[in-house]
Chain A
Amino acid sequence: EAQVTQNPRYLITVTGKKLTVTCSQNMNHEYMSWYRQDPGLGLRQIYYSMNVEVTDKGDVPEGYKVSRKEKRNFPLILESPSPNQTSLYFCASSPQGGGLGYTFGSGTRLTVV
């Protein structure tokens, strides 16, 4: 089944404890992206990647890191999480330039206390 898989689905952590949210797609898509969704603010792009080893900042990149060492994986790293990073996170992928739309993962609900 073609899908974008995120893990974990739920995570509660403490301020400052490094964490990684994994994202993997099995559709051989070139484009991958991370979004966060907050009430009243909608979906905002954190980082995106156009291909292996090619990443760039989205609209809200502060406090996040990403890497794209393999085409299928695009992990999101929070080096020192803070409470304002409590959010619902989505990974998404697209076969080309986003022009055919993105497929989303199931989401990761992160709480930082």
Chain B
Amino acid sequence: QKEVEQNSGPLSVPEGAIASLNCTYSDRVSQSFFWYRQYSGKSPELIMSIYSNGDKEDGRFTAQLNKASQYVSLLIRDSQPSDSATYLCAVIRGSQGNLIFGKGTKLSVKP
């Protein structure tokens, strides 16, 4: 099993809809989880971090973590065309702070 898995997409949603992005991870001892957004040809940008089970909301973004199921998700409410990007799930591996990424899910928001 890969350390961090995401559906590659593309995921296409209409403008104003909720986009739901999912991620699973294999290391049960992982404690820190992140969502990055990457526009084509640009560097990854941190948009959410989550450390404990449950939901964390920041504006239109909600991160959800379920450690028992080893599952992290990102919800984007009221999706906008400017949200069209690749979303990367990342997990800290072990005690040395290595940040390991999934391959990303490409999101397309259609006007």
Number of residues in A with C-beta < 8 Å to the partner?
Answer: 29
CB of A107 within 8 A of CB of B46, answer no
With A56-B96, A104-B44, A106-B43: A40-B103 Cβ-Cβ less than 8 Å: yes
State whether the Cβ of B25 lies closer than 8 Å to any Cβ in chain A. Answer: no
Cross-chain contact A107 with B49 (CB below 8 angstroms): no
Number of A-B contacts (CB under 8 A): 64
Q: Are A96 and B43 in contact (CB under 8 A)?
A: no
**A25 lies within 8 A of chain B by Cβ:** no
Q: How far is the CA of A59 from the CA of B98 in the complex (A)?
A: 10
Contact indicator B49/A42 (Cβ below 8 Å): no
Given contacts A41-B103, A98-B32, A98-B92, contact A104 B43 (CB under 8 A): yes
| Contact assessment for B46 and A102 in the assembled complex, using a CB-CB cutoff below 8 Å | yes
Is B76 at the interface (CB under 8 A from chain A)?
A: no
Docked pose: A31 CA to B102 CA in angstroms: 20
Question: Are A48 and B98 interface neighbours, CB within 8 A?
Answer: yes
Please, which residues of chain A bring their CB within 8 A of the CB of B43?
A: 90, 104-107
Contact with A along B41-58 (1 / 0, CB 8 A): 011111001010000000
- A residues contacting B by CB (< 8 A) are 31, 33, 35, 40-45, 48, 50, 56, 58-59, 90, 92, 94, 96-107
